[in-house]
Structure 1
Amino acid sequence: MSQRVQGDKRLEQFIPPEGVPINFAVASLGTRFGAQCLDLIFTFLLVFVCAIAIVSGGFLPPAAEMTLMILLAFLIRIPYYVLSELIWNGRTLGKKITGIRVINVNGRRLTPHQVTARNLMKEVEIFTPLSLVFAAGSMPAWEIGLTIALVLVILTVPLANRRRQRLGDIIAGTLVVDNPRSVLLSDLAISAPTTVSSQAEFDFLPEHLDVYGKYELQTLEDVLRDPTKSSNNEEIVQIVRTIVRKIGYRDTVKPGQQLLFLTAFYRAQREHLETLRLFGTRRENKFYQAEKEVGG
């Protein structure tokens, strides 16, 4: 990944093998703090309900009840974070509400190991310092000093980190980013300008269009919707070279015609996939043929 700044956002850019970059906006510390507060409230409510049940039962001495409630807080908290992020693809309830999520720094799918590691580190980074702060009144001065130093170090790490990663994220290889909002845009095949030259010069055969699927088409659409991209843009030129090589396109794409080529390819690819769908074939991505052969 590479990072750049756009306005007040820090963007992490991941470039997959196809050469089409995917941008993620790093979540702000304020948003992450809000998500963490919400998750603390949700887990506290669960612990509170369990505590009422334990106290109401009256079958344990007070010291044992307190020990059990502390243990329950841990046993509820860890599964809540780990299972939530595994089931909801990097999101807890707090993260879903605030619109952020956890991703792999390599752009790949989150693994159970990463989710578990980052959330176990949360015990060291957040909950242990919190418990020490609440118990500061009964600690000697040197322990209070160590607690303050620990809290300052933990707070400094995401502030000094260009990706705003806490210690758990650095160890697990994860990153917290803004979750993209779904926005209904105009039909690119209709809104994009149609020129005679693009229709006349770029003809695509069925074997050209059988290479990619719906996922690649949507990624290409994101590129074409970017108003900052021009035909001479290095990224656009590289994308055209990659597509030409992948599909085995033999005609020459002249300099300055890269966007015309991509627009024509987008229209042809979309029409091809819609035709396949009418006949009951859903081509999700470029691995469709390999998956079909394995399944057969």
Structure 2
Amino acid sequence: MIWRRKNKRAKDRPSPDELVPPEGVTLMLPIAGVGVRLAAQITDILLTGIGAACLVILLSVLNLTDPQSMVAIASLLFFLIRVPYYIAAELAWNGQTLGKRMMKIKVVSHDGGPLTAHALVLRNLMKEAEIFLPGTLLLTLDAASPVASLTSLFWVMLCLAIPLMNRYRRRLGDLMAGTHVIHLPVPVLLSDLAGEKQRVNVDRRKFIFLSHQLDHYGAFELQTLETLLRGQSTPPSAGAAQQREATIEAIVEKIRNKIGYADPVPREDRLSFLKTFYKAQREHLEQRQLFGDRREDKHYAKSSEEA
């Protein structure tokens, strides 16, 4: 009984890749793994380290420092560059540093709400306590103080293990700030509907539209028609097939009446009629745009005459 209850709870849990914003529409945003986050972190460390090294070289060229204090000055400069860099970059780029931008990841609010400045500042300040301060102690302490070295090593290992122990790969700073890191969704452009091959027989009649017939519609109506045609690729349910057929018939008749297309369109050629009209309308609008005449919608001509 207990085993069944545990399985039911695990099954009911949402996927870690699901993010529900306040609007209630579930977004599928893959959680960024430890490897890609480590790569982004190394990139940011290299960038800030190069900046600190350049300042150290400049100070040595100007004879403003001596070799004995070079390491201490370099560590201080690295700290002074690193802390503002992480905070300012994520504030400016909405949860991304240069390393995160290169790795295509970003910080988001764990509850799906807006990403606040408080959360970004807190998670980056915690990074100092999680990684950089113990790491600096490991590099600077020697064998004479093994207890401090082992304590720092244990703390670093614990902080590195925390992301591996939760589903959202959240480090300690993320847990305190209420954030986690995701992969940016890859935008996929749909294929050009005008360039797709018509799935009609070659012996079907061809529809020809004249220029004055294509002047009745603009880009808005063209986009609406494209949305309708893209929906035809999905098979309808049993009850929706008749509704879809009635919609197509109504649109065909409305276009025929609007543009003055006298010939009737057979039932089997209605979809071909709409696709041919879409392609011709698109080419017509693109040609007019080349000459500086941009037609937004079907009311464009009327508003131009009134002006």
TM-score (norm 1): 0.61
Report the Cα offset of residue 69 of structure 1.
2.8
Distance 2:103 2:93 in 1: 14
CA distance in structure 2 between the partners assigned to 1:131 and 1:167 by the alignment: 19
Matches within 5 A, 1:235-274: none
Partner of 1:14: 20
5 Å matches for 1:27-42? 27-42=32-47
Q: 1:3 is matched by which residue type in structure 2?
A: P
CA contact (8 A) 1:169 1:175 kept: yes
CA distance in 1, matches of 2:14, 2:142: 44
Decide whether aligned partners of structure 1 residues 89 and 189 sit closer, same or farther in structure 2, where only a CA change above 3 A counts.
farther
* CA distance 1:199–1:79, shift in 2 (3 Å): farther
SS at structure 1 position matched to 2:181 = strand
Change (3 A) 1:15 1:112: closer
Residue 10 of structure 2: aligned partner: none
Superposition pairs of residues 141-152 of structure 1, within 5 angstroms = 141-152=146-157
Letter of the structure 1 residue corresponding to residue 229 of structure 2: I
User: Is 1:192–2:265 an aligned residue pair?
Assistant: no
Moved more, 139-148 or 95-104: 139-148
Q: Does residue 109 in structure 1 map to residue 120 in structure 2?
A: no
Identity %: 35
How does 1:94-105 map onto structure 2 within 5 Å?
Answer: 94-105=99-110
CA contact (8 A) 2:18 2:26 kept: no
Q: Secondary structure at the match of 2:64?
A: coil
Checking the alignment, whether the CA contact within 8 Å between 2:134 and 2:155 is kept in structure 1 is: yes
98, 110, 130: which one aligns with 2:135: 130
SS of alignment partner, residue 123 of structure 2: helix
The 3-state SS of whatever aligns with 1:152 is helix
Residue 199 of structure 1 deviates from its aligned partner by: 6.5
1:148-227 aligned at under 5 Å gives the runs: 148-186=153-191, 188-193=227-232, 195-198=241-244, 200=246
Offset at residue 189 of structure 1 (A)? 3.4
Equivalents in 1 of 2:26, 2:91: separation in Å? Answer: 25
Deviations 1:19-57 (A, max 9, x none): 421122110110001100111111111001001011111
Cα-to-partner distance string for 1:39-86 (whole Å, 9 max, x where unaligned): 111111100100101111113444555443322211110111111111
- What's the counterpart of residue 55 of structure 1? 60
Task: Give the 3 Å change call, closer, same or farther, for CA 36–189 of structure 1 in structure 2.
Answer: farther
Secondary structure at the residue paired with 2:25?
coil
Letter in 2 for 1:74: F
Contact 1:27–1:100 (Cα < 8 Å) also in 2: yes
C-alpha separation in 1, matches of 2:113 and 2:96 = 16
Q: Which amino acid aligns with 1:168?
A: G
- What stretches of structure 1 of length at least 5 have no aligned partner? 5-9, 202-276, 281-296
Q: Is the 8 A contact 1:54 1:65 kept in 2?
A: no
- Does structure 1 retain, via aligned residues, the 8 Å contact 2:19–2:112? no
Q: Distance in 1 between matches of 2:172 and 2:242?
A: 56
Is it true that 1:3 corresponds to 2:42 in the alignment?
no
The letter of the residue matching 1:104 is: S
Larger radius of gyration: 2
CA gap of 1:60–1:41, structure 2 versus 1, over 3 A, is: closer
Q: After superposition, what is the alpha-carbon deviation per residue over 1:215-243, rounded to whole angstroms, capped at 9, x for unaligned? A: xxxxxxxxxxxxxxxxxxxxxxxxxxxxx
The one of 19, 24, 28 aligned to 2:29: 24
Rounded to whole Å, the distance in 1 between the matches of 2:41 and 2:82 is 12
| Matched residue type, 1:97 | M
Question: Does the Cα contact within 8 Å between 1:101 and 1:177 map onto a contact in 2?
Answer: yes
Please give the alpha-carbon distance, in whole angstroms, between the structure 2 residues aligned to 1:105 and 1:189. 36
How many angstroms does 1:139 deviate by?
4.3
Instruction: Give the 3-state SS of the residue equivalent to 1:137 in structure 2.
Output: coil
Contact 2:135 2:152 (8 Å CA) reproduced: no
Residue in 1 aligned with 2:214? none
- Aligned counterparts of 1:69 and 1:105: Cα–Cα separation in 2: 36
CA distance in 2, matches of 1:183, 1:11: 19
The 3-state SS of whatever aligns with 2:113 is coil
Q: CA deviation at 1:115?
A: 0.8
CA RMSD of aligned residues (A): 2.6
